[in-house]
Chains A and B, each alone.
Chain A
Amino acid sequence: MSTEPKVSVAAGERRTFWPTQIWPAQIGLSETQRFLLLALFIGIFSGLLVVCFHIAIDWISWTTLGALSGRFRFARLLSPALGALAAGFLVLRVFPKAKGSGVNNTKAAIYASNGYVPSSTIIGKFLACSIAIGTGNSLGPEDPSLQMGAGVASRLGRLFQLERSTMRLIAPVGAAAGIAAAFNTPITGVLFVMEEVLADWSATTVGSIVLAAVSAVVTMRAFLGNEPLFRIPAFQLTHASELLLYAAIGVVGGLISALFIVAIEALKTRLEKLPHWSVYALPAAGGFLTGLVGLWFPEVMGAGYDAVNAALHGQFTWPVLFYLALAKLVVTLICFSAGTPGGMFAPVLFIGGMLGGAFGGAAHRWWPFPAASPEAYMLVGMGTFFAGVFRSPITSIFLVFEVSASYVIILPVMIANITAYLLSRKLHAMPFFKMLAQVEGVALPSAEEKRNFQPLRVEDAMHTLSSRMPAEGGMRLFPDEPLDAALRLLAVRPRIQVVSRLRADEVIGTLTLEDVHRAYGIAENQDGAGGASPETGPRGVPA
């Protein structure tokens, strides 16, 4: 019997037959391998796009602001306002789908549009954000890069006619590539997407995300060089007592990051209520204010990485660092809330870094024990604010580790970041991106909430038997299995035996549909059925 594929002459059959049958067979690739190959393409394209984006921002910045000092004072005042006006017009009138947070738009594409990100979003984000950031508005390029990466992935996925389920997976791959190339940190890119964008993943997804992130960073480095995001001078931790200081930074970072989220929420909500025409004026007003602040503190303009590098090299005294953090916080709050296109990652790192540096400088002066240089505190400060605002503690730790390439920083960063994360979460439970989505009227799942959600298990609903019985044949469940899985079996049989993992022939309880309802809190509402007595009632469910 021949295995030769049959070439159909009917046009309708060609599309469905050839792509799945001949194409993989021709080059011997499985579906997973194809997906990985596509991830490679996505990474390279995203890397190229980020290179062009980076160049565009720099070029616009050189043209409009010069090197941020001296004779460009007038340009510095007006450039952000004009840039924000142009960028705002672009996203409001020409590319409306490019409006909003890149992370949330990517999540929306995954959860609501089967991974579909319109190609116009890529162009819109590219143009609007490069103009807004290049002209000095206090926003960063990472979030747009993430969305552009997702857009590239989506476009390629459509080109290769991926199935719907695969399309949903392809957008995060592009997102990881985009953010990894923008930060020049592959691990951070991967972790952020896994921690914030996707709450659950498979081996293939992780493999693709890693491959895309690595290829994007390699591509980016091939064109722009292996220049790290921050140029970290050598430092060392000097005294064990310093860990207290780092924990204190965590407290400060957590507190300010929670306040920052609250302030953005309040301001955004208030601005949303303004008349419609204001959406054009608000970015320009935010830009003007940025320009005004920039007359005294030009360092706060744009993404601000140059200023962070300067601060890392001890250019500013600690009071100046504090003022810079404060100024950046204000202008970022306004620019972002006003709807100016751009991301929050760079400003968050700036604010956190400057706050950390100011804290470190003060500690150097007043702390009775030896303390590390303020630069170490800057790094830790970046991590704490990142963890506090974005609620991505693991990403924040690896971000600092990756940009500093220093292992000595890892312990302080872990202490400070987790402190900041927990405190911020305590003070303002809603994560940043979920808050943004809510303000914009979109209901997107939060990865943090998904992680924290503890699904009910069989043992939470089952009736525990007072004495062990031998198991009968047929369907059975283990106590640690999810309750959702039990529902499928309960559709076939009214009562399922629950057996021990250690002794599969021993029944330790039983489960019925009523038990499941009760565990979910449905039974009482429906018919008021009492369920089991406290002695025999389901475990973990209040009687």
Chain B
Amino acid sequence: MAKYPNFLRLLATLTVSSNLRSTILVTLILILSFTFTGFLSSAYKNQKESRGRAHYDLGQAALRAGDLQQAIEEYRKALLFLPDDSDYGLSLAIALVDSGRLDEAESHLQELLEGNPTNGVINLMLARVAAKRKETNQAIDYYQRAVYGYWPQSNISARRAARWELVSLLQKQDRRNELVGELMQLYANAPDEPNEKSKIGFMLLQYGATSNAVEVFRDLARDHPKYVEAHHGLGEAYFDSGDYLAARREVQQAIHLDPRDKENVQLLALANAVIGIDPALPRLSTADRLARSHALLERVLRDLSECVLANGGKLAPPLQQRIDGANVLLASKAKGAEDYLFQLQDTAQQLWKDKKDFCGNISKPDRALDVVLTRLGQ
């Protein structure tokens, strides 16, 4: 051992051992190969990116020009070069959805979704695919994921648009409760945009969510007192909820702001007519209620008689009996009894229903009477 100091031994190994020489040689070649391949692959990636980008730009241009098919072709080529690029994939998928190629679009979207399950756009596109296929539950599911998914700050309004799409789908499917829920969510997150809020309010009214509509329009009227639709909507909402006095007040305000609005004028007339005959109006004395109920039944009987005459005067015995009973009730002297009030109202409602059944469309509708009696029935 002492004969060969370590450095000499190492020197001898380096110069003599062919395997070590080979290892050093191979390592050097490996380093060179790595460097060369690194440069090559870098150039290759750049080339792929630029080719992909060029096709993507062509696709965008084709889309702007309205050539959907050409856009799809270019997006596909772009994806050949950069299959991992989610922008390219998404653009292709959107174009495919628009062109109705749902299977292919879904395939791309599902792949994109795997990499980004909370992406709002991808979920929205999948919702559209499902909606086009009439897979409603699936579509609602995707819409909800889209609504609660991630949207870039620059495109935050798209989240609301997605919710509006969901509302539209629910509307088509007549799913009232979900629809009202979504509308209230829209309202809760609505920007200070009176048109959108009023749209929400009117849709709530349309689907019978009057208390929600009152809330929406009341806020709107408070925040935008000069906005006619706010007062009009609030008037309608109050009217539907049975608060005719408040409805009249709001409609008068709306007419004050825009006197030319015929709809408001008609609503005011109706409100006045209802207020004139409604026996359930607040702050009426018992005597007034009794008088109004009496008048209501008389009016119903009159309408019914007109309708019967117009139809030749023949009545079924049960209906004739109910009319006779009503006349007896009107002529009775039990005006002080509490039951009498309800008897008058019940009879009026029953005869109004009979009138509707008997006369159908022949009778001229009496809107105020209908509103009051329907309301009493509720």
Partner-B contacts on A (CB < 8 A): 2, 4, 7, 14-15, 18-19, 22-23, 26, 41, 44-45, 48, 51-52, 55, 58-59, 62, 67, 69-70, 156, 159-161, 223-225, 227, 231, 233-234, 306, 309-310, 312-315, 375
| Minimum C-beta distance from A246 to chain B (A) | 21
21 pairs of residues in contact across A and B, judged by CB atoms under 8 Å:
A4-B3, A18-B16, A18-B18, A22-B16, A22-B17, A23-B19, A26-B20, A52-B40, A55-B40, A55-B41, A62-B47, A67-B55, A67-B77, A69-B73, A156-B26, A159-B22, A231-B83, A231-B111, A233-B108, A233-B110, A314-B107
B104 at the interface (CB under 8 A from A): yes
How distant is the Cα of A70 from the Cα of B16 in the complex, in angstroms?
63
Q: Which residues of B contact A227 (CB under 8 A)?
A: 83-84
How distant is the Cα of A315 from the Cα of B33 in the complex, in angstroms?
39
Contact mask B32-62 → A, CB, 8 Å, 1/0? Answer: 0110011011001001100100010000000
How distant is the Cα of A308 from the Cα of B110 in the complex, in angstroms?
17
- In the complex, the answer to whether A7 meets B4 with C-beta atoms within 8 Å is yes
Q: Which residues of A contact B16 (CB under 8 A)?
A: 7, 14, 18, 22
How distant is the Cα of A32 from the Cα of B84 in the complex, in angstroms?
41
How distant is the Cα of A14 from the Cα of B34 in the complex, in angstroms?
33
Q: B89-121: which residues lie under 8 A (CB-CB) from chain A?
A: 101, 103-104, 106-108, 110-111, 114
Select which of A44, A225, A312 is within 8 A of B107 by beta carbon: A312
B30 at the interface (CB under 8 A from A): yes
Select which of A18, A45, A62, A313 is within 8 A of B104 by beta carbon: A313
Contact mask B202-222 → A, CB, 8 Å, 1/0? Answer: 000000000000000000000
- In the complex, the answer to whether B40 meets A314 with C-beta atoms within 8 Å is no
Select which of B26, B73, B80, B114 is within 8 A of A234 by beta carbon: B114
Q: Which residues of A contact B34 (CB under 8 A)?
A: 48
Q: Which residues of B contact A26 (CB under 8 A)?
A: 13, 17, 20
| Minimum C-beta distance from A159 to chain B (A) | 5
- In the complex, the answer to whether B41 meets A224 with C-beta atoms within 8 Å is yes
Interface size class, chain B = 35 or more
B287 at the interface (CB under 8 A from A): no
- Find the A residue at minimum CB distance from B16: A18
- In the complex, the answer to whether A7 meets B12 with C-beta atoms within 8 Å is yes
| Minimum C-beta distance from A9 to chain B (A) | 10
- In the complex, the answer to whether A313 meets B22 with C-beta atoms within 8 Å is no
Could you tell me the dominant secondary structure of chain B's interface residues? helix
B1 at the interface (CB under 8 A from A): yes
With most chain A CB atoms within 10 A of its CB, the pick from B1, B37, B47, B84 is B37
Q: B4-29: which residues lie under 8 A (CB-CB) from chain A?
A: 4, 12-13, 16-20, 22-23, 25-26
- Find the A residue at minimum CB distance from B43: A55
- In the complex, the answer to whether B17 meets A23 with C-beta atoms within 8 Å is yes
Select which of A4, A15, A231 is within 8 A of B1 by beta carbon: A4
- In the complex, the answer to whether B13 meets A22 with C-beta atoms within 8 Å is yes
- In the complex, the answer to whether A51 meets B111 with C-beta atoms within 8 Å is no
Q: Which residues of B contact A14 (CB under 8 A)?
A: 16
Closest 7 CB pairs of A and B: A314-B103, A313-B107, A223-B41, A314-B104, A67-B77, A23-B19, A233-B107
Q: Which residues of B contact A69 (CB under 8 A)?
A: 73, 77
B76 at the interface (CB under 8 A from A): yes
Q: Which residues of B contact A41 (CB under 8 A)?
A: 26, 30
How distant is the Cα of A52 from the Cα of B47 in the complex, in angstroms?
15
With most chain B CB atoms within 10 A of its CB, the pick from A233, A309, A310, A313 is A313
- In the complex, the answer to whether A18 meets B17 with C-beta atoms within 8 Å is yes
| Minimum C-beta distance from A529 to chain B (A) | 56
| Minimum C-beta distance from A363 to chain B (A) | 15
How distant is the Cα of A18 from the Cα of B55 in the complex, in angstroms?
60
Q: Which residues of A contact B1 (CB under 8 A)?
A: 2, 4
Besides A22-B17, A234-B111, 6 new A-B residue pairs in contact (Cβ under 8 A), listed by A number: A7-B12, A51-B37, A55-B44, A314-B103, A314-B107, A375-B107
Q: A44-B30, A313-B108 are in contact. Are A19 and B19 (CB under 8 A)?
A: yes
| Minimum C-beta distance from B57 to chain A (A) | 14
- In the complex, the answer to whether B110 meets A223 with C-beta atoms within 8 Å is no
Q: Which residues of B contact A2 (CB under 8 A)?
A: 1
- In the complex, the answer to whether B83 meets A67 with C-beta atoms within 8 Å is no
Contact mask B337-356 → A, CB, 8 Å, 1/0? Answer: 00000000000000000000
Select which of A15, A59, A310, A314 is within 8 A of B44 by beta carbon: A59
Q: A55-B41, A231-B111 are in contact. Are A4 and B4 (CB under 8 A)?
A: yes
| Minimum C-beta distance from B2 to chain A (A) | 9
How distant is the Cα of A7 from the Cα of B47 in the complex, in angstroms?
55
Q: A7-B4, A18-B18 are in contact. Are A313 and B51 (CB under 8 A)?
A: no
| Minimum C-beta distance from B141 to chain A (A) | 15
- In the complex, the answer to whether A18 meets B37 with C-beta atoms within 8 Å is no
- In the complex, the answer to whether B37 meets A23 with C-beta atoms within 8 Å is no
- In the complex, the answer to whether B18 meets A19 with C-beta atoms within 8 Å is yes
Q: Which residues of B contact A18 (CB under 8 A)?
A: 13, 16-19
Q: Which residues of B contact A312 (CB under 8 A)?
A: 107
Q: A62-B51, A375-B107 are in contact. Are A51 and B41 (CB under 8 A)?
A: yes
Q: A26-B20, A45-B33 are in contact. Are A225 and B84 (CB under 8 A)?
A: yes
With most chain A CB atoms within 10 A of its CB, the pick from B23, B34, B114 is B23
Q: Which residues of B contact A62 (CB under 8 A)?
A: 47, 51
Q: Which residues of B contact A233 (CB under 8 A)?
A: 107-108, 110-111
Q: Which residues of A contact B44 (CB under 8 A)?
A: 55, 58-59
Q: Which residues of B contact A315 (CB under 8 A)?
A: 76, 104
- In the complex, the answer to whether B37 meets A160 with C-beta atoms within 8 Å is no
How distant is the Cα of A314 from the Cα of B106 in the complex, in angstroms?
9
How distant is the Cα of A2 from the Cα of B16 in the complex, in angstroms?
21
| Minimum C-beta distance from A166 to chain B (A) | 13
Contact mask B60-80 → A, CB, 8 Å, 1/0? Answer: 000000000000010011001
- Find the B residue at minimum CB distance from A51: B37
- Find the A residue at minimum CB distance from B29: A45
How distant is the Cα of A156 from the Cα of B25 in the complex, in angstroms?
11
Q: Which residues of B contact A58 (CB under 8 A)?
A: 44, 48
How distant is the Cα of A59 from the Cα of B51 in the complex, in angstroms?
12
Select which of A19, A70, A223, A306 is within 8 A of B17 by beta carbon: A19
How distant is the Cα of A313 from the Cα of B47 in the complex, in angstroms?
25
Q: Which residues of A contact B20 (CB under 8 A)?
A: 23, 26
